A and B are shown apart, each in its own frame.
Chain A
Amino acid sequence: MHSIPSVRTYVTIWAILTIMTFVTFYVAQIDLGPWNVVVALIIAFFKMMLVVLFFMNVKADSPLTKLFAGAGFFWLILLVGQTLIDYISRSWMPNGKFW
């Protein structure tokens, strides 16, 4: 198995995650137009990566486990991405445009 991360590592990750929660909370109150959701999702993505790599310790897991974890995220992107591409490109949106 793997070396055991220190308490300091876990607490540092926790602090970063908490700070990012406050950042996403306050950034949402600034009107960035369509970019609000982009910024929110980028922050959520980084928080997810911190949890996956450090709290779930995938960083130290076997390459096979890393592949599976990555595949899950890849499939999710396919699911959401391809569906949205369909909706955008076929003019299925009620107001005739995506944005």
Chain B
Amino acid sequence: MADTHAVATEHEHSPHLRHHFDDMAQQFDSATLGMWVFLLTEIMFFGGMFCAYSVYRSMYPEAFASTSQYMNPKFGAFNTAILIVSSLSMALAVRAARLGQRKALQLLLVITMIFGLAFLGVKAFEYHEHWVDMKVPLFAGHWDYSQAPQFARQAQILFCFYFFMTGFHALHMIVGVGLLTTILVMAHKGTFSPEYFTPVEISGLYWHFVDIVWIFLFPLLYLIGHTRQLI
């Protein structure tokens, strides 16, 4: 769509076209590629934690499995569903931006943020449950594993992974909501057009990436109960 557009406006130069790009399409592809390079560093960031998790889970499978009774897979599945809905509305928001539907874009961004905040709300509730259950080894006096004392030390490893991995994921969600707030303000001001919607697209990539991290965190942290020996 924008190909014809770009040709038509080439002589007058779109105000959004930087001088070092040939046209809007090239500028868009460069921005997308740049965002993917950033996402690669994010893959490595979370990858390190996933890697360490895999090693310790294979070392202490029974202890890791014993933690399942303190994780509620229903909350995890519910939050997964929430995030998938938010990803759908984000994808539709990008689509609306590309079609120049300003009202739809703003509405879909708000919906995405509401579902993102709902996810964080459920997460906060779960953290509170762990705090009450005395399953927070990060703070002295908030760890009690007398239910299965033989795993008391090893289960701390899983809960440390749990809090760091979900914590960093939640931090990324908060950053994502901040990003979308900025995009919403820009959309309100009418910055975006079918010719220029790069910030919406880029923020969408970030949002979907954070969704993917959760897609892996959910089975790895919540669904280990019934298995005794695993990777």
Contacts and interface: CB of A to CB of B under 8 A. Distances in A.
A93 B58 contact: yes
B105 to A, nearest CB: 13
Give the interface SS of chain A, mostly helix, strand, loop or mixed.
Answer: helix
B92 interface: yes
Nearest to B90: A55
Interface string A13-24: 110011001101
Q: Is the interface of B mostly helix, strand, loop or mixed?
A: helix
Interface residues of B, number: 59
B85 interface: yes
Contact of A4 (B1, B33, B55, B81): B1
B37 interface: yes
Contacts of A94: 59-60
A87 B58 contact: yes
A91 interface: no
B183 interface: no
Interface of A: 1, 3-5, 7, 10-11, 13-14, 17-18, 21-22, 24-25, 28-34, 36-38, 40-41, 43-44, 47-48, 51-52, 54-57, 61-62, 64-65, 68-69, 71-73, 75-76, 79-80, 83-84, 87, 93-95, 98-99
Contacts of B54: 80, 83-84
24 contacts: A3-B1, A4-B99, A5-B95, A14-B85, A17-B87, A22-B77, A25-B73, A25-B77, A28-B225, A30-B226, A34-B227, A36-B223, A36-B226, A36-B230, A37-B220, A41-B216, A54-B91, A55-B87, A56-B204, A61-B32, A64-B29, A64-B33, A75-B43, A83-B54
A24 B37 CA distance: 30
Contact of B39 (A31, A72, A79, A93): A72
A40 B54 CA distance: 14
Contact of A51 (B37, B48, B85, B208): B208
